[in-house]
Amino acid sequence: MSLQMVSTVSNSSLLQPGFSLLNFDGHVFFFGQKGWPKRSCPTGVFLLDRKQNELKMKPAFFSKDSCYLPPLRYPALCTLQSDARAGEYQYIIHGGKTPNNDLSDKIYFMSLVSKTSKKMMLQCVEKDLGGDVPEARYGHTINVVHSRGKSMSVLFGGRSYTPLAQRTTEKWNSVVDCLPSVFLIDFEFGCSTSYILPELQDGLSFHVSIARGDTIYILGGHSLQNNTRSPNLYKLKIDLPLGSPAVTCTILPGGISVSSAIVTQISDTEFVLVGGYHSDNQKRLVCNTIVLEDSKIEIVESLSPEWTPDIKHCRTWFGCDMGKGSVLLGIPGANKQLIPDANYFYILRCKGAEEDKEEESITQICSQTSSEDPGDSTPFEDSEEFCFSAEANSFDIDDADTYNEDDEEDESETGYWITCCATCNIDINTWVPFYSTELNKPAMILCSSGAGHWVHAQCMDLSETMLLHLSEANVKYFCNKHIDLNKGLKTPQKVVCLKKQPMKPLRKKKTMKLSTSTKKSFLRRLFE
């Protein structure tokens, strides 16, 4: 194993615990940034272009038929091979946390649809499920198993918010372990089925799962209920006959009590377990090699890299599998007593020295400057690259253009981070919703004055009950600046007065007036 440090030049705050890395044919994409995507990268997905000792983050492009993919942290990911002959595969993404601390229950399929030396195009498609749909969660795993010529996905573990009926305003965002249900998902027919197995007593979160054939091995994980890390090793076997699937679970010896560990695959049957925690305050600095052969698993302690003093002394660390036997590890910048928000990163290569050299040479060949016309590629807006290098002063002049936060558009009207009034006390850097609702924007409501504007429910002194009422009822709301709340929140309906039509007077019968001579003449003729 070899450990190499990469020092960040700028904006390492985007890479926080819970990010994910996707590897498409040796091209690594970063997904799950802190905060919502901005103008420089509206998709929130970046290509990690590794060239020599540098890493550059380039915004990724999505096809026009792609759905919107929010930045999700701590989701469940796995690969699904769509065409074995062509070597095509795609990533399955389920769950995770949004920047507003909402939990996602959606499933996305991410694939690489086109690739050139200047531009790589991704496609993201949302999948709908029926049956026993898994609830929104994070810190869980998803794997694909193959049995009798069929394939299914298996989802297990994680954490979710307390059910709505059990929440209080003070503990609205409290999380609990998910039920220890095993979900079998058939994406071909879009259905999901849950199974309860007596061997699985806890819905473990931040565990490790490895799949091979029709078997999944579950290792470690943390239980909130009793604050323990499971020492058990579970073996899930999935049989897919023509009828109903059969799911069995066996507890095996030789488990490891660890949570938040990282697994990287170095061969068809060999994996390396890195990082994680023994307890809340104790990192696990020992690495293990996991070998899967047929229906057997072997876990042995392997030679660990020479950890730096910064890694040894820091209380927390995080990272993700980069694929090809490499792991990206991060530690908080506070350990170096520099910028408190910055993080420092290392690349751990778990392969042998010869394999590392071969991979590095292939990477350099693929990263050479192309002779294509630069006009064929779409230029990036502002600063399009986030640069990482072993030496901060080793940049060329052309590479000095880095991301600048001041170049971004004003987000005060986006509805996520706003200053809603003169007395607004919401800190956009540390804001967690005071209480969450089913509104599109948590703990916020739209004032109907003029063109309308968003205000925080906390700053408007709105109770949870009133906020829920306003979100469900079809009424207008006016903030403190535009109406006195004591006079009522509902805009009185304007009463339209009905105009009474006046009754037409009865017409009098017209009588003919006769002169005296005419009357005499009439009487004379009458008596003659």
Residue 405 phi/psi, 5-degree rounding, is -65, -30
Distance of alpha carbon 234 from alpha carbon 260, whole angstroms: 17
Element (H, E) at 20: strand 20-24
Residue 420 marked as a ligand binder: yes
Distance of alpha carbon 209 from alpha carbon 286, whole angstroms: 18
For residues 452 and 413, is the Cβ–Cβ distance under 8 A? no
**HEC states along 378-393?**
CCCCCCCCEEEECCCC
For residues 327 and 262, is the Cβ–Cβ distance under 8 A? yes
Residue 347 phi/psi, 5-degree rounding, is -110, 120
Residue 479 marked as a ligand binder: yes
Question: Kind of pairing, strands 120-127 and 61-62?
Answer: parallel
Token pair belonging to 141: 């795993």
b/e sequence 88-97, b meaning 16+ C-beta within 10 Å: ebbbbbbbbb
Residue 318 phi/psi, 5-degree rounding, is -155, 170
b/e sequence 498-513, b meaning 16+ C-beta within 10 Å: eeeeeeeeeeeeeeee
Task: Report CA-CA distances (Å) from 256 to 237, 336, 492.
Answer: 20, 31, 65
Token pair belonging to 51: 């060239």
Query: Residue 277, exposed/middle/buried by CB under 10 A (0-12, 13-18, 19+)?
Result: buried
Fill in the DSSP letter of residue 22: E
Fill in the DSSP letter of residue 127: E
Q: Is the C-alpha dihedral spanning 98, 333, 221, 76 positive or negative?
A: positive
Fill in the DSSP letter of residue 269: S
Long-range contacts of 339-343 (CB under 8 A, 24+ apart): 341/13, 342/8, 342/12, 342/13, 343/8, 343/12, 343/13, 343/15, 343/16
CA contacts within 13 A on the Cβ side of 220? 25
Residue 456 marked as a ligand binder: yes
Which residue, chain included where needed, has tokens 């009463």? 495
Residue 447 marked as a ligand binder: yes
Element (H, E) at 313: helix 309-313
Q: Which residues are annotated as a binding site?
A: 420, 424, 447, 453, 456, 459, 479, 482
Q: Which residues are annotated as a binding site for Zn(2+)?
A: 420, 424, 447, 453, 456, 459, 479, 482
